[in-house]
């Protein structure tokens, strides 16, 4: 595996079974993915599409039915890989009877940090997520937004190289969402790799470098966000100073008349449009990777 591939899934399949071993649901079907160092990778999909299952498989919280997940080149069940990982679960599953300081101190101890380092990291992270005023309060008294913040702080306690964020903006107010997105972008600036899953399309669109769209446990689309959203068969021209007459035949006249060509390129649709298109296509042709129109992507 090349050095810059942080996560690799090979033919990853997960089937949930009941107590008697009967198949209940096939949550993930032969997923092949690679996440590279330093990128923000988004897993996108409707509810039940297998996003969280993928993250849990990467973390070793679930075992694959078949296939393999490698994280930093090690098997996902190898706990030593967690030294370099930070994880923010879907809801911040933290011990409500601890205060913010105690929480961070506890998770710091799980990384065998010295007392001095724990104190330092705790204070840095509490400042980073803006909980200075509430650091002594028990988490049970926290609002949902505050819980997300302390959740993020615990995910960063070990200064991880890879951060997995499960629905990071859920429960945050617009201001909180903006801060969270900025923090994610800052993490990339620091050279960290981020994998996030979300069904909030605007979040993914704003911060992700690459995305994978899952539907019903299958990978439907994978690529760079800017490239995926580009509509290649349409050209957009922004022009100024053209006469009424020449506007009738813009394309020929701009050059001939010497008008100023301000911008020329491909328009983009929104991620929301792309997402809905893929879902519609998947429902029309179940079990098939989305085939985009010639030149569409």
Partner 1 sequence: MVLETELLPFREWLLWGPFVWLLVMGSLAVAGLFFGSLVAVIRHGPAAGLAATGRVLAAAVGDLFCMSPRRVWALAWLAVKDSLRRRVVVVFIVFLLLLLFAGWFLDPSSDHPLRLYISFVLTATSYLVLLLMLFLSALSLPNDLKNKTLHTVVTKPVRPSEIVLGRMLGFVVLGTTLLALMSAISYVFVVRGLAHSHEVVQASLAAVDPRQDADQGAVPLRGESTRVNGHRHDVRIDRKGQGLLEMTQDHYHRVARRQDGEKTVYEVGQPEGMLVARVPVYGKLRFMDSQRHVAERGTNVGDEWAYRSYIQGGSLAAGVWSFEGVTPTAFSDNLQLEMTLGVFRTYKGDIEQGVAGVLLLRNPKTGLTVEAKVFKSREFSTDVHRLPRKITPTAAYALQPEKDPDGRIKYVRKPLGADAKAQYDLFDDLTDDGQLEVWLQCLDPEQYFGVAQPDLYLRARDASFALNFVKGYFGIWMQMVLVIGFGVMFSTFLTGPVAMLATVGMLIGGFFRGYMIELALGQTWGGGPVESLIRILTQDNVVSDLPEGIRTTVAQTVDSVLQRGLWVVAQLLPSFGDYDCASYVAYGFNVPGNWIAERGLTALGFAVALFVVGYFFLKTREVAR
Contact between 25 and partner 1 per CB under 8 A: no
* Distance, CA of 138 to CA of 273 (rounded, Å): 42
For residue 214 the two structure tokens come to 């899952």
The phi, psi pair for 210, rounded to 5°, reads -130, 150
Total H helices, total E strands in the chain:
9, 12
If the CB atoms of residues 71 and 274 are measured against partner 1, the closer one turns out to be 71
C-alpha closest to that of 261 among 275, 277, 276, 246: 246
Count of CA atoms in the C-beta half-sphere (13 A) of 215? 20
Question: Residue from 42, 45, 50, 89 that binds partner 1 (CB under 8 A)?
Answer: 89
Q: Between 56 and 148, whose beta carbon lies closer to partner 1?
A: 56
Min CB(89)–partner 1 separation in Å: 5
Q: With respect to partner 1, which residue has the nearer C-beta, 38 or 67?
A: 67
Segment lying near partner 1 (by CB under 8 A), choices 27-35, 41-49, 74-82, 187-195: 74-82
Dihedral of CA 66/86/90/96: which sign? positive
For residue 80, the minimal CB distance to partner 1 (Å) is 6
CB-nearer residue toward partner 1: 146 or 225: 146
* Contact between residue 161 and residue 192 where contact means Cβ atoms under 8 Å apart: yes
Q: Which of 5, 25, 30, 61 touches partner 1 (CB under 8 A)? A: 61
User: Which one of residues 33, 39, 44, 56 is an interface residue with partner 1 (CB under 8 A)?
Assistant: 56
Q: Which stretch binds partner 1 (CB under 8 A): 40-48, 95-103, 209-217, 235-243?
A: 95-103
Q: Does 77 bind partner 1 (CB under 8 A)?
A: yes
Is 107 a binder of partner 1 (CB under 8 A)? yes
Sign of the alpha-carbon torsion through 178, 34, 83, 16: positive
CA 245 to chain centre: 49
Position 256 contacts partner 1 (CB under 8 A) = no
Strands 210-215 and 40-44: parallel
Q: How far is the CB of 203 from partner 1 (least distance, A)?
A: 22
Q: Which is nearer to partner 1, 78 or 186 (CB)?
A: 78
| Residue 148 C-beta: closest distance to partner 1, Å | 13
- Nearer residue to partner 1 within complex by CB, 97 or 283: 97
Residue with Cβ nearer partner 1 (41 or 87): 87
Smallest gap from Cβ 13 to partner 1, in A, equals 12
Helix, strand, coil percent values for the chain (each to nearest 5)? 40, 30, 35
What is the three-class DSSP state of 138? Answer: strand
Single out the residue of 8, 29, 39, 87 in contact with partner 1 (rule: CB under 8 A): 87
Comparison of 40 and 62: residue with beta carbon closer to partner 1: 62
Closest CA to 27 of 67, 74, 73, 72: 67
User: What is the distance, to the nearest Å, from the Cα of residue 122 to the centroid of all Cα atoms in its chain?
Assistant: 25
167 within 8 A of 116, measured Cβ to Cβ: no
Give yes or no for a contact between 266 and 204, defined as CB atoms under 8 angstroms apart: no
Q: Which of residues 115-174 bind partner 1 (CB under 8 A)?
A: 154, 158
Chain contacts with partner 1 (rule: CB under 8 A): 21, 56, 59-63, 66, 75, 77-83, 85, 87, 89, 91-95, 97-98, 106-107, 109-112, 154, 158
């Amino acid at each position: 595996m090349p050095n810059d591939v942080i996560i690799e899934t090979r033919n990853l399949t997960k089937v949930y079974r009941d107590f008697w071993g009967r198949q209940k649901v096939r949550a993930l079907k032969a997923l092949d993915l690679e996440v590279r160092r330093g990128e923000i990778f988004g897993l996108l999909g409707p509810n039940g599409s297998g996003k969280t299952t993928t993250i849990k498989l990467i973390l070793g919280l679930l075992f694959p039915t078949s296939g393999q997940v490698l994280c930093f080149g090690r098997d996902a069940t190898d706990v030593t890989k967690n030294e370099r990982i930070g994880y923010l679960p879907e809801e911040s599953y933290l011990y409500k009877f601890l205060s913010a300081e105690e929480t961070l101190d506890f998770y710091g101890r799980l990384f065998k940090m010295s007392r001095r380092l724990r104190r330092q990291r705790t204070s840095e992270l509490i400042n980073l997520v803006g909980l200075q005023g509430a650091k002594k309060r028990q988490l049970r008294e926290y609002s949902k937004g505050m819980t997300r913040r302390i959740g993020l702080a615990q995910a960063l306690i070990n200064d991880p190289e890879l951060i997995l964020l499960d629905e990071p903006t859920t429960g945050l107010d617009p201001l909180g969402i903006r801060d969270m997105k900025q923090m994610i972008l800052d993490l990339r600036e620091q050279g960290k790799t981020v994998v996030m899953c979300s069904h909030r399309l605007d979040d993914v669109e704003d911060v992700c470098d690459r995305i994978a769209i899952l539907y019903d446990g299958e990978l439907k689309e994978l690529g760079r966000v800017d490239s995926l959203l580009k509509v290649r068969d349409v050209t957009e021209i922004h022009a100024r100073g053209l006469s009424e007459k020449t506007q009738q035949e813009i394309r020929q006249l701009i050059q001939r008349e010497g008008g100023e060509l301000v911008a020329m390129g491909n328009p983009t649709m929104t991620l929301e449009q792309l997402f809905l298109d893929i879902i519609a296509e998947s429902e029309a042709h179940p079990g098939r990777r989305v085939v985009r129109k010639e030149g569409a992507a």
